[in-house]
Amino acid sequence: MNPTEDIAHAEKKSRQIYGSESERIRHTYTTLLTQNSEDIKVVQELLRHANSRVTLDLCAQAGMQEKREAQSKLVRLVLNKGEALA
């Protein structure tokens, strides 16, 4: 391959792995809105999705803080042998 073909191949591979720039922006936009507790119906309509399931399944990603809180709840549940969680 020549340098031009190498660049074209790398760009193609990048798109396969990461998707298009607009897809990444939409994904980030959705994640930020949902992490800021925006109503999912509002987010769905802003993105023009047919239903909120598409928004949640394809675009939104759980934030690190939410993941940590979920894990902490489970640890407290296990260590407290099933006592109610606050």
Across the chain, which has 86 residues, the per-10-residue mean pLDDT values are: 68 66 81 86 91 81 80 87 59
In a domain, 17, yes or no: yes
Whole-number pLDDT of residue 55: 83
Domain encompassing residue 40:
3-79
The answer to whether residue 18 is domain-embedded is: yes
Whole-number pLDDT of residue 83: 61
Q: Has residue 66 been placed in a domain? A: yes
Residue 86 within a domain: no
CA pseudo-torsion sign 66, 69, 75, 78: negative
Determine, yes or no, domain membership for 24.
yes
Residue 50 lies in a domain: yes
For residue 85, is it within any domain? no
The number of folded domains in the chain is: 1
| Structural domain includes residue 70 | yes
Model pTM above 0.75: no
Rounded to an integer, what distance in angstroms lies between the CA atom of residue 69 and that of residue 49? 29
